[in-house]
Amino acid sequence: MLTDVRNVSRREVMGLGAILSLAACSPSGTDGANTSEGTGSASSVDPDLALAAQVAEQEWALVAAYDQALRAQPNLAALLTPLRDQHREHAGAVGSTQAPATAATGSAAPTSPEQVLADLLAAERAAVTERTQVCDASTGPQFASLIALIAASEAGHVEYLRRSEP
């Protein structure tokens, strides 16, 4: 059954997640209208850079959560390692290639596999919401598209973990 989830259901969920995320990130009709007009201000700071830093920080926190889960339940490595590695890729996609020194979760490690999966599932659900909010706040269409794809991936993680619960 797990093979079916990886090959079929996850792709379907990710595709649906991508569509929903892109729809949520669609710019309104007025967002682009004012950007071509000169306003006289010399703002050279890209507002999406702060959002990218926020996403990177959150992705490294997810990597730390997966690392903690793997230490608590090494028998779940086949299930959790690919998801953790995808979060590293997400951080890299927004420009962060190395975890900050403070990317630790700090809470006690859960002991049961059920609790490990439940905690990661909650973290992934929160990440989908956070990415959708970042996508909505973004100003650049390419950045919004990237964040929508990350949100879709994390929606796939939600479904994968949900179906993997013992």
CATH number at residue 88: 1.20.1260
Give residue 136's pLDDT.
94
Q: What domain range is 130 assigned to?
A: 2-23+48-96+108-164
The structure's pTM equals 0.73
Give residue 17's pLDDT.
52
Residue with tokens 């993997």: 164
> Is 17 domain-assigned?
yes
> In Å, how far from its chain's centre is CA 118?
17
- Residue ranges, the chain, pLDDT below 70: 1-44, 102-110, 166
Q: Which two tokens stand for residue 147?
A: 């964040």
> Is 151 domain-assigned?
yes
> Is 87 domain-assigned?
yes
> Is 42 domain-assigned?
no
CA distances in angstroms from 149 to 15, 16, 24, 153, listed in the order given: 9, 11, 12, 6
Q: Look up residue 95 and give its DSSP letter.
A: T
Structural domain count, the chain: 1
> In Å, how far from its chain's centre is CA 29?
27
> Is 36 domain-assigned?
no
Give residue 132's pLDDT.
95
> In Å, how far from its chain's centre is CA 160?
14
Give residue 104's pLDDT.
53
Give residue 30's pLDDT.
38
> Is 77 domain-assigned?
yes
C-beta separation of 146 from 56 below 8 A: no
Q: Which two tokens stand for residue 33?
A: 């209208």
CA dihedral 130, 136, 139, 145 (to 10 degrees): 80
